Amino acid sequence: MTGRKEKVAGLVLAAGASRRMGEPKQLLRMGNKTLLERIVGEALKSELDQVILVLGHRAGEIQETIRPFLSHRKLRIIKNERYRDGMSTSIIAGLAAVEKECDHVMIVLADMPNITAPLINHLLKYYLASGKTLGAIRSSGRRSLPVILGRAWYGALGRLKGDVGARGLFEAFKQDVCLVDAPRTYDDLDLDTPEDYRKALRDIPE
C-alpha cells in the first residue's frame, strides 16, 4: 500500500475513566509496557498515515507513559474535555483533527491488547481493495474491531451522541460493509474488568 493516494488516520480512543476496572486501563502493565504504550506503538508501526490519540481522564499523567512516542512524526494527541459524555465525543474530537486531509478513519480502542500492526494492515489492505466505505475485522464469525470508515460517513460520525461508536452505521448499511476475517489466533478481548485484565496477562506473557 506504499504510495497509495488515499490517506488513512487511526483514531486511538483512550479518554475514558475506566470505572468498571477501578483504575485507569491505559496505565495497566502488559509486560514491560503499559497497555497504552502497547497499542500506540502498534498503531505507529502500521501503515496508517496518521495516528490521533484521544485522551481525557487524567490526560497529563497518561500522556507521560508514552513519552518515547511523543516526537513520532505520525502521532498527534487530542485532549477531549467532553470525555464524560461518552465515546462519541472522542470520535468527534479525533475526526475533527484529520477530516480535511484523510479519506478514511480507523477506530482503534485502546483497551484491546491484541490489536497489532499486522492486524491493522490486514484490515487496511482488504478494505481499500474492496471499494466499500465501511470495513471491520470479523472474529469468530462476528463483526469486531478495529473498524474503518470512509469520508462518506464523516457527517454521520459527527452527529453521534452519548456512549456509542459506529455500530449503528454498520448495522443499518450492511451493503456498504467489507468484513475482513482476522487470523484464527486473534482474540478480540477488551479489558473492561479486573478479570479481563487477568485473562490478558495469562494469554500475553510478554
The domain spans of the chain are 8-203
Average pLDDT over residues 95-102: 98
- Cell reading at 154: 464523516
Average pLDDT over residues 75-99: 98
* Predicted confidence (pLDDT) per residue in 23-63, tens digit: 999 999 998 999 999 999 999 999 999 999 999 999 999 99
pLDDT over 90 at 193, yes or no: yes
**High-pLDDT (> 70) share of the chain, %:** 97
pLDDT number for residue 177: 98
pLDDT over 80 at 206, yes or no: no
> Which CATH class for the 8-203 domain?
alpha beta
- Tell me the pLDDT band of 203, cut-offs 50, 70 and 90: confident
Q: Which residues of 65-90 are buried (b: 16+ CB within 10 A; e: fewer)?
A: bbeebeeeebbebbebeebeebbbbb
pLDDT over 80 at 1, yes or no: no
